Amino acid sequence: MPRPTGRWLIIGVAASWLLGVSYRPARAGAPGPNEPNPSRPSLAIIVNASNPVDSLSLEELRKVFLGERSHWPNGRRITLVMMEPGQAERQTLIREVCQMTETGFRQHFLHGLFTGEVFVSPKTLASPVGVRKFVFNVPGAIGYVRANDVDSSVKVLRVDGRLPGNKEYRLRIPPAAAP
């Protein structure tokens, strides 16, 4: 596809500014925003080491993080732990897993708590170390951290059969949000 030039470029840039979209020509061979990109840092989904689950599909993970699933297969209650709003890891999880914006995510939980469809709000912590320690100490906990923040105290779940080191792994933190 040819790059826009002249007046069409100006119109496109003005329209995208009004709509809050940025123009960036695609580079040949560069992954799109929703395609796997092994050069971006991975988001690891972590659970307590005693959790019987080793793998979840992206859809199952979505149900867990939206509070639509409340118990693990062993009957233990699921406890969600998330990082504070504004952090790249949280933004990635809400966008890629929950397929929402931060505002939509908050509204989902407010509505769910009000109607009784959701029983508990996620626990919010400030740091990856806090999330990892919480998951280590709470047998039913599930959370997320960057893959390089994982240690042996927690178990990393496969998502759609893939671990964070796999080049096909879908949960990647965007470059603007990466350190």
Q: Residue 109 domain-assigned?
A: yes
> Residue 23 has what pLDDT?
36
Q: Residue 146 domain-assigned?
A: yes
> Residue 116 has what pLDDT?
84
Q: Residue 167 domain-assigned?
A: no
> Residue 121 has what pLDDT?
84
Q: Residue 179 domain-assigned?
A: no
> Residue 118 has what pLDDT?
83
2/76 Cα distance (integer angstroms): 55
Q: Residue 4 domain-assigned?
A: no
Query: For 118-130, b where at least 16 C-beta lie within 10 A, e where not — what string?
Result: beeebeebeebeb
For residue 61, the enclosing domain spans 43-159
> Residue 84 has what pLDDT?
95
Place of tokens 């979840």: 56
Structural domain count, the chain: 1
Q: Residue 132 domain-assigned?
A: yes
> Residue 95 has what pLDDT?
96
Q: Residue 26 domain-assigned?
A: no
Q: Residue 173 domain-assigned?
A: no
- CATH number at 106 reads 3.40.190.10
One digit per residue, pLDDT tens: the chain, 179 residues? 455 454 444 444 434 433 343 333 333 444 444 445 557 899 999 999 999 999 999 999 999 999 999 899 999 999 999 999 999 999 999 999 999 999 999 999 999 988 988 877 899 999 999 999 999 999 999 999 999 999 999 999 999 999 998 999 999 998 864 45
